[in-house]
Every structure is written in structure tokens, then in C-alpha cells.
Amino acid sequence: MVRVLIPVTLRTLSGGEAEIEAVGHNLRSVIADLGERYPELAGRLVQDGRIGRGLTLAINGDVVSTGLITKVPADAEIAIVPQISGG
Amino acid sequence: MVTAQSEVASQYNVIGTRPIRHDGVDKVTGAAQYGADLQLPGMLYGRVLRSPHAHARIVSIDTSKAAALEGVKSVITNADFPRASDDVIDTGEGSAQLNWLLDNVIASDKALYKGHAIAAVAAVDHHIAEDAIELIEVEYELLPPVLDVRDAMLDTAPKLHDGLKTGEMDGSKSDGDSNTASHLRFAKGDMEAGFADADVVIEREFVTSMAHQGYIEPHNGTAYWRADGTLDVWTSTQGSFVVRDSVAPLVQLSPSQVKVTPMEIGGGFGGKIPVYLEPLAAILSRNTGRPVQLTMNREEVLLATGPTSGTYMRVKMGAKRDGTLTAGEVYLAFEAGAYPGSPVGAGAMCALAPYDIPNQVIDGYDVVVNKPKTAAYRAPGAPQAEFATEAVINELAEQLQIDPLELRLQNAAVEGASRADGFTYGVIGNVECMQAAQDSSHWNSELAGPNQGRGVAQGFWFNIGFESSAYAQVNGDGTVPLVLGSTDIGGTRASIAMQLAETLGISAEEVRPHVVDTNSVGYTQVTGGSRTTFAGGWAAYECAMDIRRQMAERAAQIWEVDAAEVEYGDDAVIRGPADDEGNERSFGFKELAGQLAASGGHIVGRADVNKTSSGPAFATHIVDVEVDPDTGKVDVLRYTAVQDAGTAIHPAYVEGQMQGGAAQGIGMALNEEYYYDESGDLKNASLLDYRMPTALDLPMIEPIIVEVPNPGHPYGVRGVGEVPIIPPAPAIQAAIADAVGLRMNELPISPRAILEATLPEEG
């Protein structure tokens, strides 16, 4: 089971849940599974077929750089953070 | 200083040694080609007209007189550019929204800071171009400027952008227009319980000034829009592919139609990631059919290129009497300059990162003001945020009467600790840095006189990985040209070449690294985020492994044996099975290299990597200062910088990064500030008045390299370039407090600031 950690500013979309369990072999399928229970959250995480604007996902502490096709290990922890600006 | 081979390096032949950098001779003989050295046949010279006002609506621009001047070939304004979309592009150490990027390159309806580009000219020489911009007539409607982040956040503040709302992470927006472009929050635990558990709670406010990266080489850009519709760009940049991907959409070309050649770079520190002149040169070249070169002067660099954010910050922290930190609450408001995109997100991620604090809330606000758009600057956002949090940690140590390093060790984040942003640490060297500082001769020495004090601070930067590419061929004489896409700011030709050499088992000198244009190497992210030796080195490692495999296969072919029976040893000897007469068979690397052409052709290795496990960096700095009570001047007497490099590939360049980062941090702490008057006029736009430290201002910065190898890299590399800029300001602030009892919570801690704090008001 994959654990998706929901940052405090996205908990309005997760019914207040701080952590959601989901299944899937890659980010797309994990978010699709999560979207069956939390459609608004999934709609924020995936926009126009990509990771949602202004967001970055990290799997087990590694920032995702290959988009929604990135493989997710079975017991992974997924963090959602703002896309870091600075330039 | 580490001069003997370290324990980690002792397992390697090349890694951990200090060869002369491959580009050294060209640099010291003046043969190296920088952007402004470029001369092309028929080249025109450009100049930019800049706004004299910090905030003004552009009513009209009349370029007719300038265009009529003899020798002027083109005059352009924002209207000459295609409309840009609001798509966001990745710039490596940040991101950029295209329409804001274009508006910053050349203003559309409003001038948003003094120095904002309004129009550009191309002429047959510099003098005519200079004369021409004087002939451009601009009518402005002056608007009140907003210069301070706290003022800008008020509902009543004049708004810089119509339609800009405050965006939240969940996608919601504020109802009304705002100068606060976005808000983010990281949180964990229970704040109420955390502060209830505390015996001591300290809450402080902090202010920092905008500060510039201070690279010595000004920005430049040359473009040639060829008759076939392709565009060549030569520029001083930290990322040739980012320039390509920024310029192409702004001039409505496909990235495949744009080739960017990175010239040698005279410093960047994050500030040479955004484009400023390149799109202007492109359109001027399109209009004239000739190459066009633009260069900035120093005033333009300071007025119009990205400094790091000025900030307002609040930190509240609680601790038990025994020193256990129970709660940390951090509020960060960062100036983004004229367009959204301050480094507040990174600052928020770093603010409390060195410590395992169970209850945390970190709020960040990205706020536009009438100052130049900020750019990345060495660990963007972290020096400010960690100045505030480290200062409170030091004050807690004083109140609790606990040694400040002991307090840090007691609460240090270790493997398995999680940050408020959701990341969990793997193997890190946080504790090892603190312990090395404790063991240092500096920490165990005595101060020598009155008005002297000692301070210490910790720093964290997450480092990044991402895409890098490397190609290498094997010459007949056994040398290996290595093709890279990473601009070399701090010795990365050497540090990447050394990893290729280590893997092949040859010397660093036998590898010849070359930094090439975007058509000649695979996609490579910016030289930034402390990623280049990490990801570039990984690409070089994979490239070398590709060569090893091919060399073994070639030997097998020559010996007429199965490739599985041939092994490429770490000593660069390729060994096969004994021949029919029982004789051992082997090739040395050079020996086989000499036979490649006649045995099937040459060998090229290649690798493209996209790595995400970058290996966080920690640093501990110790500083002694002496404060002159009469003048307020602070002298840095002794400075020690401890840092975990993972594995120090080229220790001299690691030390150089540690020393350079510390020097910049000392400048930020004591002198460097953007000084604006009420109208938004920058009053110190020269390096005489914008006071960076020189060698005369600093003692020898003593580096202590700690090596906790990063298990997420073939050679254990962690990035080293950015974290050393973080601890200087809070360490110096603590040292001043130790010396004269003043806790200065505003940067820079200039002589004026100290005198204002110490002298009676009438003085």
C-alpha cells in the first residue's frame, strides 16, 4: 500500500485527512485510485494530463522528474510539495 | 585544511586528488572566450533604454528619432515580440511563467522597477547605439512605488499587476487583487501542545535586505537569426538548454530551431539562469539579418538583474529546560521583485531542516514589489530563512545556558527524521558536521581580547539532481575527450572528468572535457542547485561504464572469445581467458585504444541520466569577530567552515566552494544591501557603493571537509556549492551578541546599524 502524505494546505480537498492510502504501480494509477475517494484532490494533483501546476511530487524523498509515468514501489511514501520557484 | 588523502578517498585512484583544472591554462593566459569577446562578421551592437521610474504606466513610446539616426539598424519595444502565454517553464533551480518572463525582458504596459527595459536599439557601433537610446521618447504616468514586503502585503497598497490574486496550494485564489502572489504552508504535529510543553519560548522578528550575487562578468548575449529561420545564441549562462527553452517561445520558434552556445562564465551563483538580453538580441537580429550583441554595464547588472529577496520574517520556538526543542513556528514574507517567483518555497523547506522538532508550522508568502525580479542566489531562500531560525536557536542556547553546539546536537535531524514538508532523511552528515566543529581547534581556542565574540550556526540545503548528459570517445593514444553540457562555474570540468577517469582507471589529465552547445550534447540541466558534480559525475560514470563494456567486447572480438569471459578491471587492464598455450591475455587501456581503429572502429561512450536522489548537504560554521564600539565596524578575526561533501571529488575545489560561499554569506551579513530612496531609486548601483567583501576584509577561511558518502551516488557525491552561504549570517549575528551584547536581527549588520543600536538617539 502506498501512503500519500497530504500537506495541510491541501487537506480541504482530502476531507481533512493528513495521510491517504492508495494502490497503483505508477503515479498516474496511484492518483487515479485516490481520485475514486477524493476526486477534488486528484483533480488538483493531475491537470491537463500532467502533475498539477505549481506542485511537485516526491517518492520516498526523491523529487519526481519523469512525470506521472514514474514507477511507485509498493510501500512507498509520496509527498506533495509546492514547485519551488527561485529563478 | 584537509591536505592528506582522506579515508574515503583512499579507496580511489583519482577521486580525492587535486589535479590542475583542465581549463586553467586558458583562464590564466586570457585565451578563454567570454561572451563579450565574441566577434562575428557584420555584428551590430545593442543598447537598452531603461526606466528611470520604479512604478509607472507607459503611455507612449516614440522611437522615430532614434530609428532615423544614421547607423541605427533597428529599434524595438515589447510590441515587436509575439504575445507570450502563461505557460510555466522549468528553469532548473526554479521556474518561470513565460508572459512575466517576457515582460521582465522588455516592459509592456508598465515599468515595474527602476532599470526595467523599455526599448532596445541595434547600431553599427556602441556609441551610436548609446546616442540612439537617448533619442527615444517615453511618456510615463507615474504611480506610487511599493518597496517593502510588509507595505506591499497591505490591502491598501498600490497593486503592481491587475488581476494578480493570492494563490493557495489547493488551487484557490483570493477574491481581490493582491501583491501577494502565493502562500504556502508546511506543518506537522500539534503547535498548541508543542508550546505548552516548552519551558522557554522565544519569538523574534527579522528583516533582510535584497542582495546581489555579485558576479564579476556582466550579462551579455549575442544572437544571429539566420536566413533559414534558425537562431544561434552565444551567452554567459548557467544553463544553455534553459536559455534555449526560454528564448524559443518568446520569439515564437521551436527549441529545435535555437542553438545556444555557452561561453565561459565569469560567475553566476544562480543569477545567470534567467534570460535578459538574449531575446532582445534575437529580435534585433531578426529585424536586421545581422548578428547583434548586447552587454550590460555594472549599473545595469545591479539595477535590472536578479538579486535575492529582501524579507520580513518571524520565528517563535519553544524548548524544554533540558534543551529539547518542542515547537517551531516560522513566518516568511519574501520579496519576489516585480514578478512572482521568490525563493520562499525553498526557504520554507530549509528553515527548520537541521532539527528534529515534533511540532512545526512554516508559512511562506511570495510578494511582488517595485524592485528587480529576484533570481536564484546560492541556496535560494535558505540564507534568509535559516538566519532567522538559527538566530533563535542561538538565543535559546543562551537562555537555557546550554552550549550552542550541544543544543544543536541534542536536537539534530538524523536518518529517518522527517521534515515538515514531508521529506524523510536518508543518510546525512548533519551530526558529523557538528561533531567536527566541536573537535576543531577553533572551537577549542580562547578569544583574545575585549569586544570579541564567537558564534556558531548550522546550515541545510537539499541539493538537486535531474538531467545530465555525457559523451566520450576513446582516442588512439588513450586520451578521452569528454563532451558536457554543464557550464563550468566552479571547476566542474575537472570534477566530472575525474569521475570518468576513476571509472576507466586512467588519469584525470588523460580526459579532455569540453562544454559544448545545445545541438552537440544531450539535454543537461543548469549548473545550479549544487547538482553538477553529482548528476554530471553520474553521467560520466555511466558513460565510462559504457566504454568499459565496449572495450571488453572489442578485446573479446580480437581474442575471438566470448565477451562474458573478458573483464575490464578497475586498474584499466582488460583481461581475458588464457590462450590455447595457457598464456594470460590482457590489454592495457592505451594498448587497446591503439588497436581500435584497425579492429572494427572507434568507441564512443554515452550516457543520459535523470537522477532525483541528490543527497542533502549540511554545514557548521564558527566565527570570531571584533566589534569596534566607536565606529560599529565588525572585523572577522577567524572563520572555520565545516561541511559534509559526501565524497570530495576534488578537495581543493570543495574547499574553494566552502570559502567562496562563506565569503558571500559574510558579505550578506555585514555589508551588502540594496539601498533605495522613497521613490524607488537604487542609490548604490555600483561596486564602490554596493560593498562586497574583498580579500582584505576576510581572514583565511579554514575549511574542514566531512565525508559521509551519499549512498544515492556511485561515488558518494553530495553537492557542495550552496550550503556554505547559509551559516555565516547567523554565526556572525551570534558572535556580535557574544562580543557586545547586541542581538541584531536585521541584515546587513552594517557599522551604521550597530551605531544606531548603541548610540543614544540624539547621537
Query: Over the stretch B474-523, which tens digit does the pLDDT of each residue have?
Result: 999 999 999 999 999 989 999 999 999 999 999 999 999 999 999 999 99
Q: Which residues from B are below 8 Å from A87, CB to CB? A: 91-96, 270, 273-274, 306, 341, 375-376, 380
Residues B456 and B478 in one domain: no
Name every residue whose Cβ is closer than 8 Å to that of residue A15 and which is 6 or more positions away in sequence: A38
Q: Residue B89 has what pLDDT?
A: 85
pLDDT tier at B688, thresholds 50, 70, 90: very high
Q: Residue B363 CB: number of other CB atoms within 10 A?
A: 18
Closest-CA residue of B relative to A40 is: B170
Residue B246 CA to residue B277 CA, distance in Å, equals 12
Nearest to B469 by CA among B197, B746, B241, B740: B241
Nearest to B203 by CA among B188, B211, B191: B191
Residue spans of the domains in chain A: they are 2-82
Residues B563 and B636 in one domain: no
Contact: A81, B342; criterion CB under 8 Å: no
Residues B484 and B601 in one domain: yes
Q: How far is A57 from chain B (nearest CA, A)?
A: 10
Which three cell numbers mark B614? 541528490
Contact: A54, B424; criterion CB under 8 Å: no
- Which among B95, B97, B169, B466 is the top mutation candidate for probing chain A, defined by the most A β-carbons within 10 Å of its own β-carbon? B169
Return the percentage of chain B with pLDDT > 90, whole number.
94
Q: Residue A85 has what pLDDT?
A: 60
Nearest by CB: B96 against A54, A81, A87: A87
Q: Is B671 a residue whose pLDDT tops 90?
A: yes
Residue B659 CA to residue B464 CA, distance in Å, equals 21
DSSP code for A12: G
Last residue of a domain, one of B573, B594, B610: B610
Higher-confidence residue: B760 or A79?
A: A79
pLDDT tier at A87, thresholds 50, 70, 90: very low
Question: Chain A interface residues facing chain B, Cβ-Cβ under 8 Å?
Answer: 5, 7-10, 12-13, 44, 52-55, 58, 60-66, 77, 79-87
Instruction: Judge whether B449 lies within some domain.
Output: yes
Name every residue whose Cβ is closer than 8 Å to that of residue B713 and which is 6 or more positions away in sequence: B534, B537, B538, B613, B615, B646, B647
Residues B684 and B559 in one domain: no
Closest-CA residue of A relative to B420 is: A7
Q: Kindly report whether the peptide bond that precedes residue B144 is cis, defined as omega within 30 degrees of 0.
A: no
pLDDT tier at B2, thresholds 50, 70, 90: very low
Contacts 24+ apart (CB under 8 A), B592-600: B592/B551, B592/B554, B592/B555, B593/B474, B593/B475, B593/B476, B593/B477, B593/B478, B594/B476, B594/B477, B594/B478, B595/B554, B595/B558, B596/B474, B596/B476, B596/B554, B597/B476, B599/B554, B599/B557, B599/B558, B600/B554, B600/B557
Nearest by CB: A85 against B95, B169, B465: B95
Residues B624 and B738 in one domain: yes
Residue B700 CA to residue A74 CA, distance in Å, equals 51
Q: Is B3 a residue whose pLDDT tops 60?
A: no
Q: Residue B1 has what pLDDT?
A: 46
Residues B546 and B605 in one domain: yes
Q: What is the mean pLDDT of chain B?
A: 96
Q: Is A86 a residue whose pLDDT tops 80?
A: no
Residue B149 CA to residue B152 CA, distance in Å, equals 5
- pLDDT, one tens digit per residue, over B162-173 is 999 999 999 999
> Which CATH number describes the domain made up of A2-82?
3.10.20.30
Q: How far is B339 from chain A (nearest CA, A)?
A: 11
Please name the helix (run of DSSP H) or strand (run of DSSP E) that holds residue B752, with its range, or none.
helix B751-758
Last residue of a domain, one of B568, B586, B610: B610
Could you tell me the residue range of the domain that residue B485 belongs to? 9-32+465-525+532-610
- pLDDT, one tens digit per residue, over B171-201 is 999 999 999 999 999 999 999 999 999 999 9
Contact: B613, A12; criterion CB under 8 Å: no
- pLDDT, one tens digit per residue, over B388-440 is 999 999 999 999 999 999 999 999 999 999 999 988 999 999 999 999 999 99
Contact: A8, B187; criterion CB under 8 Å: yes
Last residue of a domain, one of B610, B625, B640: B610
AA letter at B223: A
Predicted structure pTM score = 0.96
**What count of Cα atoms within 13 Å lies in the side-chain half-sphere of residue A72?**
27
Contact: B341, A85; criterion CB under 8 Å: yes
Terminal Cα-to-Cα distance of chain B (whole angstroms):
45
Residues B586 and B623 in one domain: no
Q: Residue B725 has what pLDDT?
A: 98
Terminal Cα-to-Cα distance of chain A (whole angstroms):
37
Which three cell numbers mark B242? 534553459
Report the DSSP beta bridge partners of residue B350. Answer: none
Nearest to B86 by CA among B74, B76, B75, B95: B95
Contact: B422, A83; criterion CB under 8 Å: no
User: Complex ipTM above 0.95?
Assistant: no
Average pLDDT rounded to a whole number, residues B441-452? 96
- pLDDT, one tens digit per residue, over B317-348 is 999 999 999 999 999 999 999 999 999 999 99
- pLDDT, one tens digit per residue, over B91-124 is 876 788 999 999 999 999 999 999 999 999 999 9
DSSP-derived 3-state class of residue B306:
coil
Closest-CA residue of B relative to A78 is: B422
Q: How many Cβ contacts (< 8 angstroms) between chains A and B? A: 112
Name every residue whose Cβ is closer than 8 Å to that of residue B245 and which is 6 or more positions away in sequence: B89, B90, B255
Q: Which residues from B are below 8 Å from A50, CB to CB? A: none
Q: How far is A80 from chain B (nearest CA, A)?
A: 7
Name every residue whose Cβ is closer than 8 Å to that of residue B171 and which is 6 or more positions away in sequence: A44, A52
Q: Is B204 a residue whose pLDDT tops 90?
A: yes
Average pLDDT rounded to a whole number, residues B721-729? 97
Nearest to B674 by CA among B303, B339, B149: B303
Nearest to B102 by CA among B79, B125, B121, B70: B79
What CATH number does the domain containing B487 carry?
Answer: 3.30.365.10
For residue B672, the Cα-to-chain-centroid distance in whole angstroms is 18
Contact: A9, B88; criterion CB under 8 Å: no
Residue B603 CA to residue B599 CA, distance in Å, equals 11
Angle of CA points B260, B261, B266, to nearest 5°: 120
Q: What is the total count of domains within chain B?
A: 2
